[in-house]
Every structure is written in C-alpha cells, then in structure tokens.
Amino acid sequence: MKIIYKPLIYCCFLGLLTSCAVSSKVTSNVSYTALSFNQSSLEADGLALLPIVAGSGVEGYRRPFGEAMNKTADSLITNFMPWNETLDSLNNHGLVSYYNSAIRSYQDTGIIDRSILQKMHQATDKNYFLFVHLAPPTAERYATYSSFSGVSVTETKSVSAFGIVWSSKDGDVVWEGYAVAEVTTGEFTYSNESDMERAVKVARALMTSLLR
C-alpha cells in the first residue's frame, strides 16, 4: 500500500512572480506483510504501540509524534493500546529491562525473543506490537548552474520514520513500512513548516498505512 499526500502550493502573482509557500509531500510505503497478518486479525487480537524510539536530535519530538500516532489509531481501530499505556503495562509487570534487552538483541541479530513477546502479551492483552524508530531530520542543499539564470540553490528537508509489527503468536515480524515527509525550496519557493510539523505528518501517514 502506498499513500501520498500531495503538497499544497500557494503562489502570489502581483504582476511579477514572487515566492510561493510550499508544504511537504508525505509518502508512505508497506515493504512487508505476513500472510497471517490482516485487518481482521489486527482488530481481533489487538495492537499495542510501543514507546517511540528517536534518533539523535529528535528526543523532543517523541511525545508529539507518539500522540499523533495514538490519535490516528484511535480513529481507525478499536482494539488499540496507546504508547503511554503500553509503557505503564511494561513497567507494572517489570518487563522494561527485558524489553530493552530484546530490542538490542533484535537490532544485532534480526531475531526477537519470543518469550519476551509472550510476556508482553500477558501484560497488555494484545498480540501485535508496533515498534517505531523516528529518524533525525535531514537537510541537504544543492547548487546548480545555468547560463540563463546563473547559480541557483535548492534545499530539501525531510523527516522519516520506520515501523515494524511483531506478533506474540508468530514470534516474528508480520509487518513493516516507512513514511517520509519531504519539502524542497529554492529561489521562488519557501516553506514555513517546522521539522516537528513534518514529524507529525509522518506519524499519521505511517499509522494510516498500517491500519488501512
């Protein structure tokens, strides 16, 4: 499934072309879905959003990003546990250190400890667990030369996130996807969007691609 939100462009023409305000284009894509994973099983067995993991420089975005994912999921699925409730459940059952160890092991080996997933299921009463990594914002500048206009500079800013879903029944990944918000500005365009606003767009798109 691929979801694309096209940017809105506002241009002012006052006799001569002036700068136009542009907003980011958001693209999401599902790269893997297991045969056992579908909307019926998701609604029946429940989804728990795990605490968002953020890269360097985006720690302050984690809460608004997670809240945007919570709100989007609440509008699309009934059997859902928000990230803050998932964190409370893991804490109350003494599973935080086990969970952290399982995440580190998965990053090193690509294998998740099934026994940890089963304990998480017992703590939350959910079968599916969504893990999301929010990457640091990027900004790249490009200079091009034309004999007509001379040197022109464009800048591309983006925010992206990657998500995977584990199943406690399967003991493995059953879904993975990503979303990115990207905007390019140049001599005649500008953007008032912040990285935070792009992150929230990414959160909505990533959750929507999972639940639709």
**Cα–Cα dist 71/182, whole Å:** 22
Percent of the chain with pLDDT over 90: 79
CA angle 113, 111, 105 (to 5 degrees): 75
Which pLDDT belongs to residue 14?
40
150-168 average pLDDT score: 93
| Higher-pLDDT residue of 16, 100 | 100
Q: Report, in angstroms and rounded to the nearest whole number, the Rg of the chain calculated over CA atoms.
A: 20
Q: What CATH number is attached to the domain comprising 186?
A: 3.40.50.10610
125-130 average pLDDT score: 98
Q: What is the pTM of this model?
A: 0.86
Please determine, for residue 16, whether its predicted confidence score (pLDDT) is greater than 70.
Answer: no
Which pLDDT belongs to residue 12?
41
Please determine, for residue 198, whether its predicted confidence score (pLDDT) is greater than 90.
Answer: yes
89-110 average pLDDT score: 94
Could you identify the residue written with the tokens 């993991």? Answer: 53
**Helix, strand, or coil here: 112?**
coil
Residue 174 in tokens: 């059953």
Per residue in 32-83, pLDDT (tens digit) is 999 999 999 999 999 999 999 998 778 899 999 999 999 999 999 999 999 9
Q: Which domain holds residue 117?
A: 2-211
CA angle 172, 174, 178 (to 5 degrees): 120
Which pLDDT belongs to residue 139?
93
pLDDT band at 17 (very low <50, low <70, confident <90, very high): low
pLDDT band at 6 (very low <50, low <70, confident <90, very high): very low
Residue 151 in tokens: 């040197």
Percent of the chain with pLDDT over 70: 90
Distance, CA of 148 to chain centre: 41
Q: Which range (89-93, 151-155, 158-162, 189-193) has the least confidence?
A: 151-155
Q: How many domains does the chain have?
A: 1
